[in-house]
Amino acid sequence: MDPRILKELVMEQKKEFESDDDFVKRYALDNIAQYLELPHVLIISGLRRSGKSTLLKEIHRYYFDGETIYYFNFEDERLMDFTASDFNLLYETFVELMGECKTFFFDEIQNVTGWELFVRRMHDRGFKFVITGSNSSMLSKELGTRLTGRYIGLELFPFSFNEFLDFHGINVPDILLVEDRAAIKKQFSDYLQHGGIPEYLKYDNELILKTLYDNILYKDIFARYGLNDEKTLKELSFYLFSNYGSEISYNKLRIMLGVSINTVKNYIGYLENSYLVFSVPKYDYSVKKQIYSPRKVYAIDNALINITSFKFSRDYGKLLENLVFIELKRRNKDIYYHRVNHECDFIIREHNVITDAIQVTANLNLKGTKEREYEGLLEDLNTYNLDEVLILTEDEEFEDTYKGKKVVVMPVWKWLLD
């Protein structure tokens, strides 16, 4: 790596990083303080353009104000020749230009193969690292051998509904008047369709989403995993986005795409690692049955659904369900679905015990919907020995009792504000 170019990049990025930008405070900041007090490497992963770089700026502003830190963003075409052996040169450049410091902020570090070796060596010397990356495997197998016991992982998702409201300058009072509810419901309708990807919300241009989607496929998957079967991956991704909220069959996909089951599993894994989609297992007390049961698939953001799938097949209830799933992921829940005689969209496990059952439906007032949902949830209540269940709807709110069990019905928008 040319030392002159590295110096230019360090100073250029420092100026941009320390610029006095206005941004929406991410709720993740409230949890980060406890991680910064630990000596561990803090790794923040998430979808491209979901706000990880901005979160680094917020961490710097809130927790390192006035302190010198070494910041470097590896998402720059001038770093194509940068390899793990250049980290020492980068460190020397930091010291030369900025003096001694004990804290590194590295952005999109997954672009450098072998970065873990430098981080481990410097961490063992007492340096603090806050790192971002756009691949969930950063939190698993790639760190399993080299940073075992040395890191803590945090996942950042696109804007929550609360952050979406902050972005639009909407204040939520403790007591909601009629006008407040109307304003929040209008914003929720927009959030349901437009999702929470910050850059798209700022400029309202679908080209941003399409470019993001293509960059993930080509940079984070094709290039990263050395794939050459572009057609299969794109067809698989299109199918999953068009069937969000539905069960998928590896065997059906194998036949449809004309590839092996291992290829299907690997490609879905790549899409999951890049935060485009998520698969949810069916819960079973038998781990073997759980592994071999069909999975349900969800997408990272409703706006990406709208630009990557069949628009004529859009289902309002499914969009609500997808939104609830992403919020459960944001809340770091262990999520499954239930199906025996009836299906329940989400059951939540904590410490190996099922603690919650959640059903999502657009409208309980449709003929037969209420009884069908109640019967399905009653199966969950009896199966997992629960006392109450939650039904999330577009706008209905009440509590009910069904065959001795408590049923709480709440609008999705109100549940999201919790």
Helix (H) or strand (E) holding 231: helix 230-242
Closest CA to 416 of 335, 325, 347: 325
Task: With cut-offs at 50, 70 and 90, classify the pLDDT of residue 342.
Answer: confident
Burial class of 182 by CB neighbour count within 10 A (0 to 12, 13 to 18, 19+): exposed
Distance CA 136, CA 150 (A): 17
Q: Per-residue DSSP letters for 166-211?
A: HHTT----SS--HHHHHHHHHHHHHHHHH-S-HHHHHH--HHHHHH
Which two tokens mark 253? 């996909």
Give the per-residue pLDDT at 313: 52
pLDDT at residue 107, as a whole number: 96
Residue boundaries of the structural domains of the chain: 3-156, 315-418
Rounded Cα–Cα distance for residues 336 and 338 (Å): 7
- Fold identical between 3-156 and 315-418? no
Predicted TM-score (pTM) of the model is 0.94
What six digits make up the tokens of 65? Answer: 């104000």
| Average pLDDT score over the chain | 92
- Each residue's pLDDT tens digit, 359-382: 999 988 765 678 778 877 888 888
Per-residue model confidence as pLDDT tens digits over 226-280: 998 999 999 999 999 999 999 999 999 999 999 999 999 999 999 999 999 999 9
Fold of domain 315-418:
Trna Endonuclease; Chain: A, domain 1 (3.40.1350)
The two beta strands, 343-350 and 353-360, are antiparallel
Picking from 166-170, 281-285, 307-311, which range would have the lowest pLDDT averaged per residue?
A: 307-311
According to the model, what pLDDT value does residue 58 have?
Answer: 95
Q: How far apart, in whole angstroms, are the C-alpha atoms of residue 125 and residue 119?
A: 10
Band of pLDDT at residue 142, cut at 50, 70 and 90: low
Q: Which of 41-45, 75-79, 136-140, 320-324 has the lowest mean pLDDT?
A: 136-140
Report CA-CA distances (Å) from 106 to 53, 54, 301. 9, 12, 26
Exposure of 203 by Cβ count < 10 A (0-12 exposed, 13-18 middle, 19+ buried)?
exposed
137, pLDDT greater than 80: no
CATH superfamily of 3-156: P-loop containing nucleotide triphosphate hydrolases (3.40.50.300)
**Predicted confidence (pLDDT) at residue 292 exceeds the cutoff of 80:** no
pLDDT at residue 341 in the model: 84
